[in-house]
Amino acid sequence: MANLPQIAVVGAGIFVKTQYIPRLAEISDLVLLKYIWSRTEESARGAIELAKKHFPAVECKWGEEGLQDIIGDDSVLGVAVVLAGQAQVDMSLKLLKAGKHVLQEKPAASNIGEIESALAGYNSICSNPGQPIWAVAENYRFETAFTEGKRLMADIGDMMNVQVIVEGSMDSSNPYFSSSWRRSLKGGFIVDMGVHFTAGLRMLVGCEITSVSAITSHVDKTLPPPDIISSNFNLENGCSGVFVLVASSRSPKIFWRVVGLKGTVQVERQKQDGKHGYTVLFYGADGKCNSSFYPFCGVNEELKCFVHDISKATLKDHPYQAF
């Protein structure tokens, strides 16, 4: 146990309690969770109670003094920053300046200007390119379904069209519905949710988006504006597509569909045998459809990747490209 890489989690909100702690517990043979920090003692202790079931020695830290304890602990190689979107960049840079590797939850920043300034600050403190590691957590890229979908893309020939259709379920039954920082974030849930679906799109098509035109609207007044976006985009390979996101729908449905000259790949959010995940469908040139279901695994896989990279990285190593 003493030889395992040690990390801290900065943040104690919903996602830490429902995802980070359970997923870290699943890889407790690979990593030791040493600290959980929050702004307040009450919040930190709430998360610690859950974590101690899997990491009995985990320590509770809060406030500026607790943060300095983490920064000053040389045994902590990496820190997962899981805070309100508006606060994450400043916290990440503070930890990076202290030499900690950082896995920062999305969104990376509140706006383009903020992230450009942050990247300039990050590059100025790197003694070697990419060191210490600053990774943006986007679990969709690590889902087996998207890895498989990307593999199948080689069999559909030249891309003809791409569709990303999201009819979400952001209503009062959703645990993030009342999240104050998401409601005050410019772009609201469209920005917070849209990061995921754009990541899935980029993973599948394997190239960048070169231009976008969009219309936004605000219909559901229980949500911050906008709650709907309808857009057209062009990829650098010349293919065009549509991206539609409705934050809250009575009949939720989410899928990515890429149509090619020789076939079609579709990744669709579904539930099977009580497990949430994705069904990957491949339509070949003969019109036949093959499908496979893959349960969610993205958070687990991205944490394993981060732990692997910080275990191998030193300030004299080359930058890692996993993220």
pLDDT by residue (tens digit) across 97-108?
A: 999 999 999 988
Sheet containing 248-260: give its strands across. 209-217, 228-235, 240-246, 159-169, 248-260, 264-272, 275-283, 289-295
Q: What is the pLDDT of residues 183-231, one digit of tens each?
A: 998 899 999 999 999 999 999 999 999 999 999 999 999 999 999 999 9
Q: What is the pLDDT of residues 262-292, one digit of tens each?
A: 999 999 999 999 999 999 999 999 989 999 9
Residue 219: closest CA among 192, 246, 242: 246
- pLDDT given for residue 2 in this prediction: 52
Pure H helices in the chain: 14-15, 21-26, 41-51, 63-71, 88-97, 112-125, 144-152, 180-184, 188-205, 298-312
C-beta of residue 179 within 8 angstroms of C-beta of residue 105? no
**Does residue 300 have a pLDDT over 90?**
yes
Domains of the chain plus CATH, in order, are 6-138+300-312 (3.40.50.720), 144-296 (3.30.360.10)
**Does residue 314 have a pLDDT over 80?**
no
**Does residue 247 have a pLDDT over 90?**
yes
C-beta of residue 87 within 8 angstroms of C-beta of residue 180? no
- Secondary structure element (H or E) that encloses residue 168, with its range: strand 159-169
- The model's pTM is 0.90
- DSSP annotation of 154 reads G
C-beta of residue 233 within 8 angstroms of C-beta of residue 240? yes
And the tokens for 191?
A: 């920005």
- Secondary structure element (H or E) that encloses residue 265, with its range: strand 264-272
- pLDDT given for residue 109 in this prediction: 82
How far is the CA of 10 from the CAs of 28, 49, 81, 122, 172, in angstroms? 18, 15, 5, 19, 27
Amino acid at 178: S
Residue 49, classed as helix, strand or coil, is helix
Q: What count of Cα atoms within 13 Å lies in the side-chain half-sphere of residue 319?
A: 13
- DSSP annotation of 222 reads T
How far is the CA of 227 from the CAs of 31, 49, 142, 159, 214, in angstroms? 39, 36, 27, 30, 13
- pLDDT given for residue 202 in this prediction: 97
C-beta of residue 70 within 8 angstroms of C-beta of residue 8? yes
> How far apart are the C-alpha atoms of 321 and 74, rounded to whole Å?
24
- pLDDT given for residue 322 in this prediction: 41
Percent of the chain residues topping a pLDDT of 90: 86
Task: For 83, list phi and psi in degrees, rounded to 5.
Answer: -115, -175
Q: What is the pLDDT of residues 123-178, one digit of tens each?
A: 998 877 778 999 999 999 999 999 999 999 999 999 999 999 999 999 999 999 99
Average pLDDT, the chain: 93
Amino acid at 51: A
And the tokens for 153?
A: 């893309």
- pLDDT given for residue 296 in this prediction: 97
What pLDDT band is residue 318 in, cutting at 50, 70 and 90? very low
